[in-house]
Amino acid sequence: MKHRIVQIGPITPPADARLARDYDVTPLWKEADPAAFLAAHGAQFEGVAVHVRDACGAGIIDALPNAKVIANFGVGYDKIDVEAARRKGMQVSNTPKVLDGCVADLAMGLAIDVARGISTTDRFVRAGGWKTGQRPLMTRVYGKNMGLLGFGGIGQAVGRRAAGFDMAVRYHTRRPVEGSPHQHEPSLPALAQWADFLVVACPGGPQTRHLVDAAVLEALGPRGILVNIARGSVVDEAALVEALQTGKLGGAGLDVYENEPNVPEALLAMDQVVVLSHIAGFTRESRAQMEATVCDNLDAYFRTGQVLNPV
Ligand code: 8YV
């Protein structure tokens, strides 16, 4: 007998296929009224599979009295009500490590792009601008100061890459990370003041909401560059637009936004901003590992009673 799980939304074709092969899966997104469906049938499910983009709040969790595991496709889990799950004794898993390197690569890519003007120069050349002129001088990357907000797997991977660019690295977290080669900075505004580049690499959710506010952006300064590859909610987007418009902040490289897929119009008009579409983990290699990890966690739970990557 296959275990019965409910899947909140489509994950990827390979992950969906493996789940459908190994479990009795109900695709919740195909129900006309998912809440009514769960109210009537929620008790039959033993587990949940969820894509990082889909919400799995207390409403869903409380409608699943017999589900004991939520497997999340993604390292971030800010859309899962982990507290509600814990109260019910449910385990929640994510997909750590497998995308740290790709996300860190993109953070460096954004930092270099904004500082050296790769995207703007590409637009300049395509528009024929080089035939009659040259781009203005840009900003050096190597040897500069890199501040990291967040120092988990992704933050540490950014730190290693930055060290390879001869950058000085400091990080801000609530508590210092033991054994880190980099200096811990207890104050985020002080880190921003010191940094030439501030990379947001912390989890999203209510605890980190708008940590990067007007004061932090101002401390980063008119030559400073903000890179966000974490969650849009960590940055006060209205303050970011204002700081860029008024020149209080030098530039920004953004992969994530407060209200995806909506990118503030004002940012689209700015050459000192590089806008991406939440693609940091979007490589064939990390995608395949994420697919395996979400399924491996469910399998492990049903085999041993323990997920492999508890959050
Ligand atoms: C993407 C992510 O959402 O894992 C996360 O938390 O934000 C990213 O990896 C993922 O690649 C799904 O498209």
pLDDT the model gives residue 69: 98
Active site residue 184: no
Exposed, middle or buried by CB within 10 Å (0-12, 13-18, 19+), for 217? buried
pLDDT the model gives residue 67: 98
Rounded-to-integer distance, Cα 303 and Cα 96, Å? 21
Indicate the pTM of the whole model. 0.95
Could you tell me the CA-to-CA distances from 52 to 9, 21, 231, 281 in Å, in that order? 10, 21, 12, 12
* Top mutation candidate among 92, 231, 278, 287 for ligand 1, by most atoms within 8 Å of CB: 278
**Domains delineated in the chain:** 4-96+285-304 (3.40.50.720), 100-275 (3.40.50.720)
Mean pLDDT of 18-28: 98
Protein residue whose Cα sits closest to atom 6 of ligand 1: 76
Mean pLDDT of 107-133: 98
Going by pLDDT thresholds of 50, 70 and 90, the confidence category of residue 118 is: very high
210 Cα: distance to centroid of ligand 1 (angstroms) = 20
- Which residue has tokens 């849009």? 232
Rounded-to-integer distance, Cα 111 and Cα 226, Å? 8
Going by pLDDT thresholds of 50, 70 and 90, the confidence category of residue 276 is: very high
**Ligand 1 atom at minimum distance from 51 CA:** 12
Active site residue 260: yes
* Top mutation candidate among 73, 98, 99, 277 for ligand 1, by most atoms within 8 Å of CB: 99
pLDDT the model gives residue 55: 96
pLDDT the model gives residue 225: 99
Q: Calculate the average pLDDT of the chain.
A: 98
Residue 300 per-residue DSSP state: H
pLDDT the model gives residue 58: 97
Going by pLDDT thresholds of 50, 70 and 90, the confidence category of residue 12 is: very high
Mean pLDDT of 89-105: 97
pLDDT the model gives residue 76: 96
pLDDT the model gives residue 310: 98
Rounded-to-integer distance, Cα 241 and Cα 102, Å? 27
Could you tell me the CA-to-CA distances from 193 to 41, 172, 235 in Å, in that order? 54, 12, 16
pLDDT the model gives residue 10: 98
**Of the candidates 96, 88, 36, 98, the residue with the CA atom closest to the CA atom of residue 67:** 88
- ipTM of the shown complex: 0.92
